């Protein structure tokens, strides 16, 4: 979107350079099972300012004293985890890049989560983009004056706290086989922590342990990457390890309840030029006459599952639990990224770190490119110049 960098990049692009970039990105880690885009996004300063402003408006709501009261219905009773802390350690806000009535670029909120994203991989990917494509040193993926060194230092502070790396583990249901395994490996490189599957951990009393080289090591903190939706029908696994919903002597980074509190559930409470009109389905006094301009989303799902794009009154009538659905005005993405084969739509994810005792800090970003009907892998299977990437800004 910064025209001079886009023209330079496109003018010198080749498939050979892209293949070399992917090879360098995977080197020393693992093969990447998801599509990485050919290009970064060059974010202009005016859009950067609007993204920052939009994020600050959301954080203002999250920091309200009554936020937990507002979101008390967000956490499903069967997945409520005890000992919830005062704030999440991670915030991620996804914005579709659109144009306003005057033709200016404007971000529109699509999704939000109080849950970690690819905090390791995004930093690594930005560095490899810059190196493999020989991009100008002035370009950075970081906000607030951070660089790679200071960013990793803050990331370490948030995840490790006062503990030694061996007392902290990144945990997922089957960590080595997750699509995001490369992020786990980069995080391990940065922080020195263990990568553990759920079943690698066992409970004695209220304490959690794992085995290494025949020795039992107590865990003090879990960098949680486990999404309960993925384990809904596999809770028998808890008998082999531990039940996250039980009373255990562990610090969660971040506590699982924040995944639900800061989510689609939060969006109806936001009133902003950067947030599309959103309603809990059960609060609608009447169905909008222009349903073609809305999308219907289940509250408790991830990765776009269950979303109804072309909504009808019949779809709404068939919903048996309307309190668990939102009706949201559609966001019209603008194909603002110039590729060799036409315009490409973009989404920017703002990624915050919130250390204990500090304020939330906007640190880095994630971008996704799309030519399909929606952002996401299954809508972009047959296209190039789509997939995961990162936004670069003039530092």
User: pTM of the prediction?
Assistant: 0.94
Q: Is the pLDDT of residue 374 over 70?
A: no
How confident is the model over 2-8, as a mean pLDDT? 96
Closest CA to 50 of 350, 287, 285, 283: 350
How confident is the model over 298-309, as a mean pLDDT? 76
The CA-atom distances, in angstroms, between 263 and each of 59, 136, 228, 266, 299 are 13, 36, 14, 6, 8
**DSSP state letters, 341-361:** TEEEEEEEEEEEE--TTS--E
366-370 long-range Cβ contacts below 8 angstroms, 24+ apart = 366/92, 366/117, 366/118, 366/122, 366/390, 367/37, 367/40, 367/41, 367/391, 368/37, 369/37, 369/39, 369/41, 369/337, 369/344, 369/345, 370/333, 370/344, 370/345, 370/346
Q: Is the pLDDT of residue 346 over 80?
A: yes
pLDDT value at position 377? Answer: 55
Confidence of residue 1 (pLDDT cuts 50, 70, 90): confident
Give the integer Cα–Cα distance in Å for 14 and 39. Answer: 11
Do residues 263 and 74 lie in contact, with contact meaning Cβ atoms separated by under 8 Å?
Answer: yes
Q: Residue 104 — left, alpha, or beta (φ > 0 → left; ψ -120 to 50 → alpha)?
A: beta
pLDDT value at position 228? Answer: 86
pLDDT value at position 395? Answer: 86
Give helix 121-132 / helix 148-160 axis angle, nearest 10°: 170
| Across 198-212, 244-258, 292-306, 368-382, least confident range | 368-382
Q: Is the pLDDT of residue 45 over 80?
A: yes
Confidence of residue 102 (pLDDT cuts 50, 70, 90): very high
Percent of all residues in the chain with a pLDDT value above 70, rounded to a whole number:
96
pLDDT value at position 345? Answer: 96
pLDDT value at position 302? Answer: 58
Q: Is the pLDDT of residue 239 over 60?
A: yes
- Kindly state the DSSP code that residue 308 receives in the 8-state scheme: B
pLDDT value at position 338? Answer: 96
Domain positions in the chain are 3-394
Percent of all residues in the chain with a pLDDT value above 90, rounded to a whole number:
89
Closest CA to 300 of 59, 58, 78: 78
pLDDT in tens, 255-288: 999 999 999 999 999 999 999 999 999 999 899 9
Q: Is the peptide bond before 254 cis (omega within 30 degrees of 0)?
A: yes
Closest CA to 274 of 58, 41, 2: 58
The CA-atom distances, in angstroms, between 34 and each of 183, 377, 381, 384 are 12, 8, 10, 13
Q: Is the pLDDT of residue 229 over 80?
A: no
pLDDT value at position 376? Answer: 61
How confident is the model over 285-310, as a mean pLDDT? 85
């Amino acid at each position: 979107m910064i025209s001079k960098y886009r023209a330079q990049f496109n003018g010198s692009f080749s498939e050979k350079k892209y293949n070399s970039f992917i090879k360098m990105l995977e080197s020393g880690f693992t093969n990447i099972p998801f599509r990485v885009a050919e290009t970064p996004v060059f974010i202009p300063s005016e859009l950067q300012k609007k993204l920052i402003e939009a994020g600050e408006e959301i954080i203002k709501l999250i920091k309200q004293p009554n936020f937990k009261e507002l979101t008390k219905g967000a956490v499903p009773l069967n997945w409520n985890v005890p000992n919830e802390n005062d704030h999440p350690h991670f915030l991620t806000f996804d914005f579709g890049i659109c144009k306003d009535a005057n033709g200016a670029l404007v971000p529109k909120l699509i999704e939000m989560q109080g849950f970690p994203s690819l905090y390791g991989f995004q930093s690594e990917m930005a560095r490899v983009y810059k190196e493999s494509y020989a991009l100008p040193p002035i370009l950075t993926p970081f906000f607030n004056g951070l660089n790679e060194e200071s960013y990793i230092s803050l990331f370490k502070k948030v995840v490790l706290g006062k503990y030694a790396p061996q007392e902290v583990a990144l945990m997922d249901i089957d960590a080595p086989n997750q699509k995001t395994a490369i992020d786990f490996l980069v995080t391990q490189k940065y922080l020195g922590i263990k990568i553990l599957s759920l079943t690698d951990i066992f409970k004695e009393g209220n304490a959690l342990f794992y085995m290494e080289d025949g020795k039992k090591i107590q865990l003090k903190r879990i960098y949680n990457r486990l999404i309960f939706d993925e384990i809904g029908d596999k809770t028998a696994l808890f008998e082999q390890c531990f039940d996250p919903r039980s009373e255990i002597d562990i610090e969660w980074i971040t506590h699982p309840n924040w995944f639900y509190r800061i989510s689609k559930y939060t969006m109806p409470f936001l009133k902003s030029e950067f947030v599309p009109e959103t309603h809990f389905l059960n609060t609608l006094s009447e169905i909008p006459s222009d349903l073609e301009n809305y999308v219907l989303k289940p509250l408790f799902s991830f990765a776009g599952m269950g979303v109804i794009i072309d909504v009808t009154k019949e779809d709404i009538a068939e919903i048996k639990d309307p309190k668990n659905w939102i009706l949201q005005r559609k966001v019209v993405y603008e194909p603002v990224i110039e590729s060799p084969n036409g315009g490409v739509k973009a989404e920017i994810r703002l990624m915050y770190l919130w250390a204990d005792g500090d304020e939330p800090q906007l640190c880095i970003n994630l971008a996704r490119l799309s030519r399909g009907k929606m952002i996401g892998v299954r809508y972009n299977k047959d296209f190039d110049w789509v997939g995961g990437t990162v936004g670069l800004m003039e530092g």
